[in-house]
Amino acid sequence: MYLITVLGNLLIILAVSSDSHLHTPMYFFLSNLSLVDICFTCTSIPKMLVNIQTQNKVITYEGCITQMFSFLLFGRLDNFLLTVMAYDHFVAIYYPLHYTVIINPRLCRLLVLISWIMCILYSLLQNLVVLQLYFCPNLESPHFFCELKQVAQLVCSDHFLDNMVMYFGVGLMGGFPMSGIIYSFSKIVSSIQGISSAKGKYKAFSTCASHLCIVSLH
């Protein structure tokens, strides 16, 4: 399943980059999402497979911090890119005549860059909070990878304020993309309802149906 995930996403990136007809905003965002999905699955699965093969579940402190940073970064990037794609569909359906003017290549690159910067800063903040915590020796986590909440529960000191910072960050970085996706799709639905012909409604809905499925599964 890991190989299928990596190869499948690599094929998407290759298809988009090699075909000039696919050099559009929607496929640009899709190829970025595929890249992030590859990185996301590589944060924990390879180490888990090694653990299964060697029957050794030990991970270094540095490895644990790196794994946690990568997981937070690419997990949040998934959310932000799905939000950006929802905005892209919203503009395509709500402002079809102005789509090419609004969603231009410069804006596409800027939206992806902002997503990367925000997610890197968020992951750094959460990791800095964890690095300040005092851990007991001989730790054992009931988890197959270094997940933020599991790691925070292994400390030997009071970490109420640190927990508040973590939960606030998680709520903010989870709530903002979700709000953006809900807003975009509410506008899309209201726009589709305003279309008189059944053929027009079907065409508009088919434009965003696949993205809606991805968001639902995610």
Q: What's the confidence (pLDDT) of residue 157?
A: 67
Residue 121 banded pLDDT, cuts 50, 70, 90:
very high
Residue 34 CB contacts under 8 Å (≥ 6 apart), including other chains: 9, 10, 12, 13
* Better-scored residue on pLDDT, 59 or 135: 59
Q: Phi and psi dihedrals of 51, rounded to 5?
A: -60, -40
* Residue (of 85, 27, 111, 107) closest to 213 by Cα position: 85
Q: Could you tell me if 38 and 10 are in contact, meaning their C-beta atoms sit under 8 angstroms apart?
A: yes
The reported pTM is 0.85
* Better-scored residue on pLDDT, 149 or 80: 80
Tokens linked to 138: 């001989």
Euclidean distance between CA atoms 163 and 112, whole angstroms: 29
**Maximum average pLDDT range among 47-51, 152-156, 188-192:** 47-51
Taking residues 37-48, what's their average pLDDT? 93
Q: Could you tell me if 90 and 144 are in contact, meaning their C-beta atoms sit under 8 angstroms apart?
A: no
Beta bridge partners of 135: 155
Q: What's the confidence (pLDDT) of residue 218?
A: 77
